[in-house]
Amino acid sequence: MAGRYKPYPEYKDSEGAWFGNTPSHWNNTSLKRVCSLKTGLTPPTDDRDNYADEITGLPWVRPEDLNDSSDSVIASKFISLSGWRLMRPVPANSTLICCIGTIGKVGYTACETTTNQQITAACFNESFRYNYYLIQAAREVLEEYSTGNVIKILNSERLGSIRFISLPEVEAGKIADFLDHETAKIDTLIETQQQLIQLLKEKRQAEISHAVTKGLSSLNGGPNAKLRDSGVEWLGEVPEDWTVCLIKHMCEEVTDGAHISPVTEGGERHFVSTTDIKNGVINFDDALLTTPASFEYMIKTGCMPFAGDILFSKDGTIGQTAITPEGVEFVVASSLIIIRPNKEVVMPDYFNFLLQSEVVVEQVKSFVKGAGLPRLSIQNLLKVGGAFPPVSEQVQIVAYLTRKLERYDELETRASIIVKLLQERRIALISAAVTGKIDVRDWVAPPASPTHKEVAA
């Protein structure tokens, strides 16, 4: 970074602040001295009149809306005027900081808005763009200041005490102009890779959906299988020898995990929740550990999945699945449904692919409830249906999809690595500029590239 941009001519000691030494004319302060902090609320969810649609409603921002980018936040949920009156409105040009859960995830507002209780808004009187970038650079510090074992929380008092920087407004604006320009270029590259990842996910689901509703015959270049009307509108026609039924009829048991908080002090045994499942894999490294006594109690209450059981997330990020591996003992939280397939009639791998198909995903969406944290009940999952070929054909479908999806997974992994590297480059550039490690006061925006029409003229 230093090779491309020159440093400031003179620095001063920041007395151990997270941002290191700063240019000599900058001042060290605390966040609470340069802004006011407002923590959001959730209107009572039992009164549906507090909520509204995008057309008639007012913005209500949640952590999933925060984008860590140069674009302003766009709310995905909306509240009514009566709901708004219960809230703490946040002015335009405020920085929104996730302070419960994913600590330090940020975004900024282009208009007056409201947020839920997981978000605290830093409302600045000046230099809001520079300060937005400075808070992005402080993410590791925000995480360090948070408390809690299960769910991380950063309260307003601790947030306000974080060391911050105050500098001349004109200079802050110059740094923000520089970062707006440079991060926009990086954001464009990131967006290109993210669009590729999304395309690969869609192709992946399309492959799965076709295989588990129409079979492999046409995919392998052969004639389409003889089809019959499934009798179900959302499924359409299926191969004539396939069974169409509710998924519960193909299961030995469907239950969920523990409805009690695990005892974690002195924990030794894995306690897995929704957050530990992603892309079909259980992340045991980050899972909570519970005590042997708590573990044994949860086993007795049916919270330990068997090898071959499918875990299905029902709270928050709904529909994440993973097959329980051999040789690992663990218990699960109530946020996960344990699906135990009847292996005489359905393979766990086929069942898992079916749960990822568009046919099941769309049914699940129709049952999801919750304005704040989305939830799916076991009772509603039992109402979901699917198509089941003979076991011999399931074997072929599983082999085909496993082989086919490996290529999509490989391409997605490559794109994800590129995104990670670009994001690291982005935050390094932001950090260097906002903490004064590089001097961009003389930076001039390059002339805008001519449009195709201008070139043609």
pLDDT in tens, 56-73: 999 999 999 998 888 899
| Structural contact between residues 51 and 80, judged by C-beta atoms closer than 8 angstroms | yes
Whether 386 has a pLDDT exceeding 90, the answer reads yes
Residue type, 204: R
Confidence of residue 224 (pLDDT cuts 50, 70, 90): low
pLDDT of residue 455: 40
pLDDT of residue 148: 87
Residues whose CB is less than 8 angstroms from the CB of residue 181 and which lie 6 or more positions away in sequence, other chains included: 445
Residue 337 phi, psi (nearest 5): -95, 135
What is the C-alpha to C-alpha distance for residues 322 and 305, in angstroms, rounded to an integer? 11
Confidence of residue 219 (pLDDT cuts 50, 70, 90): low
Mean pLDDT of 400-426: 96
- Output the pTM of the full model: 0.80
DSSP H or E stretch at residue 338: strand 336-341
pLDDT of residue 452: 42
Dihedral angle at the C-alpha atoms of 201, 204, 206, 207, nearest 10 degrees?
180
pLDDT of residue 370: 66
Q: Which of 112, 95, 121 is nearest to 41 (CA)?
A: 121
The tokens for 129 are: 């763009």
What is the C-alpha to C-alpha distance for residues 120 and 90, in angstroms, rounded to an integer? 10
Mean pLDDT of 18-34: 96
| Structural contact between residues 238 and 230, judged by C-beta atoms closer than 8 angstroms | yes
Which domains, from first to last, does the chain contain? 27-166 (3.90.220.20), 243-388 (3.90.220.20)
β-pairing, 331-332 vs 269-272, is: parallel
As a whole number, the mean pLDDT across the chain is: 92
- Share above pLDDT 90 across residues of the chain, in percent, rounded to a whole number: 83
pLDDT tens digits for 264-295?
888 999 999 999 998 899 999 989 999 999 99
pLDDT tens digits for 185-209?
999 999 999 999 999 999 999 999 9
